[in-house]
Each structure stands twice: as C-alpha cells, then as structure tokens.
C-alpha cells in the first residue's frame, strides 16, 4: 500500500499539471471502487478549476474554485498519472480528469480499493474528521505522544500507527523510526518516558522527511504512460531485513508479528 511519502511524492508530481487548470470533462469507466464514485461527479467537476492539490494523511485533496473538494485515496494498488500523449486507457484505468491544457489526470487501480469522493467540507468528512496531526506539522512532538500514551498497554508500534494518534506512519516507517529511536516495538506505549518520545517523534519526522526528499529527487514517470510512478529506492535499516545483521551492531535482526504486521527490530539496539 502506498504510504505517506509515496502519496506526497504523487502530490508533488501531479500538482504542477493540475493546479490553476480548468476541468474540461470527467470520464468514469468503473465507479465501483472501495466506495462507489458519485453518479454526479462529472456534473460537479466539469467547468471547475483546481485551485490546489493538497494532502491530508494518505488522502489527496483536489480543492476546487467553488469550495468543493475531491477526496482521492490510492488504496492498495492505485496510482495517478498525468497523460499528455493521448495514450488509450488500459484495463484498470478507471477515471480520467480531462484538463483544459489537453492533458488528463488518470487513475489506475487494479484492486479497486481506492476512492474518488466529493465533499463540500472535507475537514468534516467521516474519512478525515478525527484524524491525528500530520507527522511533519509543528503540533506533532514527543509531548503529544507522551500525553496520548498515558496508561496505555498497547505496543508502541501499534500506537504510532494509529491514525487517531498521528497520521501517515505506516508499517515500513514505523519499523524504521523505532529503530532510529532505539525503542523496542513491543514496549507498552504507556511505559515510555517523555524524553524517549521526543526522540521517537524526531525519528518519525526524520524518516518521513528523508523518504519524501528521496522521492522528490527521483520524481519521474508521472507524465505519460510508460510505467508506474517512480517512487524512491528505499534505504531501509530494518524493514524486510529479518535475520540479517543489524547495520549498527551486527546482531541478527528479529522478525515478529505485531497487530498482524511484519515487525523487524534489533534485540540489542532497541529496548
């Protein structure tokens, strides 16, 4: 599933092609996504101008000039591409947003777990209301984590992956941030000091920022149809490396399941 850095990389890739562009038409080839695409989506969007392409958690938000917003989620396998060469749609190309530039924003989703919804007030939409802070926002810090963790026996890895606590910390980056902060993923969230939560918040911020930066430096293939969006080549310290030596101390990394998700950690460096 695309995580926050991949979604932010997508936002950065499509925004220059979509912002300040008028929507000339909408083609919905298959509206049976995770939630049905609204029947009146074309009517609501045609003629409107995309003022901003924003992101909230793993949702992309196309803010329009009439105050409405299109909420897009990539689901398990979705991608957005800007098509400028009039390439014909392929099997899983479900939605096209034609722009007045002659290009179109094309949504591809083989598993159809993504969504395209319209909202007059996205902040109050059920998908977005109640979400925790953005991990790169000023209000996210160790004090926030320590306060919410008080009295909780939940493993800290599951705690930081809870989107009510902080958004966008998916499985890969939870593994990496906990390793960077030296915190065992099974440690109870309520038994971690404020100082260690400060380190964890900084590790989350650093890990996601580095991933976004790497995505930006390798940004390509968002235009035309010669493959999937080119996300970044990840330099992972622990995720996917169970049984291999720790990059810090050479101790074999251990792999367990927490919340039914693969979790890799160093038994020597993380406590």
CATH class name, domain 4-124 = alpha beta
Task: Map out the domains of the chain as residue ranges.
Answer: 4-124, 142-265
| 130-146 tens-digit pLDDT | 999 999 999 999 999 99
d(CA 57, CA 73): 10
| Catalytic hit among 55, 56, 58, 196 | 58
Q: Is 56 annotated as a binding residue?
A: no
Q: Which residue of the set 44, 48, 254, 261 is catalytic?
A: 261
111 is in an annotated binding site: yes
Does 181 have pLDDT greater than 70? yes
Token pair in block for residue 195: 């100082």
For residue 211, report the phi and psi dihedrals to the nearest 5 degrees: -65, -40
Is 157 a known active-site residue? no
The model's confidence at residue 225, banded by pLDDT at 50, 70 and 90, is: very low
Q: Is 152 annotated as a binding residue?
A: yes
Residue 88, pLDDT score: 93
pLDDT digits (tens, 9 = 90+) for 124-133: 999 999 999 9
Q: Tell me, which fold does domain 142-265 have in CATH?
A: Helicase, Ruva Protein; domain 3 (1.10.8)
| pLDDT digit string, tens, across residues 56-105 | 999 999 999 999 999 999 998 888 999 998 899 999 999 999 999 999 99
267 labelled catalytic: no
- 186 is an active site residue: no
Whether 190 has a pLDDT exceeding 60, the answer reads yes
User: Does 220 score more than 70 pLDDT?
Assistant: no
CATH topology of 4-124 equal to that of 142-265?
Answer: no
Q: Is the pTM of this model over 0.85?
A: yes
Q: Which residue stretches of the chain are H helix?
A: 4-18, 41-45, 142-149, 156-160, 171-181, 194-217
pLDDT, position 5: 87
Question: Taking Cα atoms as reference points, which of 25, 59, 85, 30 lies closest to residue 221?
Answer: 85
Catalytic annotation on 51? no
Closest CA to 95 of 77, 84, 109: 109
């Amino acid at each position: 599933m695309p995580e926050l850095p991949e979604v932010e990389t997508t936002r950065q890739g499509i925004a220059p092609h979509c912002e300040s562009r008028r929507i000339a038409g909408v083609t919905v080839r298959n509206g049976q996504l995770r939630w049905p695409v609204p029947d009146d989506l074309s009517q609501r969007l045609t003629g409107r101008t995309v003022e901003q392409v924003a992101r909230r958690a793993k949702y992309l938000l196309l803010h329009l000039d009439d105050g409405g917003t299109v909420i897009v989620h990539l689901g398990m396998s979705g991608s957005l591409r800007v098509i400028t060469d009039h390439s014909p749609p392929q099997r899983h190309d479900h939605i096209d947003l034609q722009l007045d530039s002659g290009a179109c924003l094309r949504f591809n989703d083989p598993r159809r777990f993504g969504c395209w919804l319209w909202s007059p007030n996205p902040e109050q939409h059920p998908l977005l209301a109640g979400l925790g802070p953005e991990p790169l926002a000023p209000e996210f810090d160790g004090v926030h984590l320590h306060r919410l963790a008080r009295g909780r026996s939940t493993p800290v890895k599951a705690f930081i992956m809870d989107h009510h606590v902080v958004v966008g910390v998916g499985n890969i980056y939870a593994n990496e941030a906990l390793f960077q902060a030296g915190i065992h993923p099974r440690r109870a969230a309520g038994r971690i000091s404020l100082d260690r939560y400060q380190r964890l918040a900084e590790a989350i911020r650093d890990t996601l920022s580095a991933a976004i930066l790497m995505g930006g430096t390798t940004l390509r293939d968002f235009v035309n149809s010669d493959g999937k969006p080119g996300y970044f080549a990840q330099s992972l310290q622990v995720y996917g490396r169970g049984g291999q030596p720790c990059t810090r101390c050479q101790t074999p990394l251990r792999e367990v399941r927490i919340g039914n998700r693969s979790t890799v950690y160093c038994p020597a460096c993380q406590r």
